[in-house]
Amino acid sequence: VLVTLDPTGVRRGATTERRPARRRPLAGARVGLVSNGLGRSAELLTRVYEALQKEAQLGAVFTVHKPHRSSPPAPEDWQRLLDEADIVIAGFGGCGSCSTRTVRDAMELEWEGIPSVAVVHQDMLPGVQAMTRLAGMPGYRYVVVDDSRTSICDWDDGAIESTAKSVVGEVLELLTVEPAV
């Protein structure tokens, strides 16, 4: 089976590779959480939101559950993110393509004008770095979790809570500080 690729092609679904201006403060910002369904990723994202809420008085939150780890959100969920989210947190990148796709989701949301951050595990950095580099955004920053366990399926409540607390500062920074060009 052959797929012929046009090297002059334009990325589908993306307007540009721009980075939207960060919103400061985040008070009242509506938050979209993009869960890839890996293990307890939705719980982790919720805990991150709750920790962020204490620091930044965020607005309403909703969670989008992707149909599969390596796929984007369903079209209706993608549209909801574009319509109803001021900022997005995506995760959890703790396996192969769930990591590369998670950071890709965040980058594509940035291209659509929504400040976004991806949360990934340190063991998956080679794939994540390849994704940002090959997508033309080698300097795109994301939050790296360095828990000794890669599989979020194995994380207990304490690990979820402590991980959320450990990353919230960087999540806040990436959503509020203007990125270097």
Q: Which residues bind another protein (CB under 8 A)?
A: 1-9, 11-12, 68-71, 95-101, 104, 124, 126-127, 129-131, 133-136
Minimal distance in Å, beta carbon 135 to another protein?
Answer: 7
| Nearest residue (CB) to another protein, 152 versus 175 | 152
138 DSSP assignment: T
Taking the complex as a whole, the smallest distance from the CB of residue 33 to another protein amounts, in Å, to 21
CB of 12 to another protein, least distance (A): 7
φ, ψ of residue 62 to 5 degrees: the values are -145, 155
Using CB atoms within 10 Å of the CB of residue 29, give its burial: 0 to 12 exposed, 13 to 18 middle, 19+ buried.
buried
φ, ψ (nearest 5 deg) of residue 87: -140, 155
Beta bridge pairs of residue 89: 33, 117
Q: Which CB, 72 or 115, lies closer to another protein?
A: 72
Give the nearest distance from C-beta 26 to another protein in angstroms. 30
With H, G, I as helix, E, B as strand and everything else as coil, classify residue 66: coil
Q: Which DSSP state fits 95?
A: S
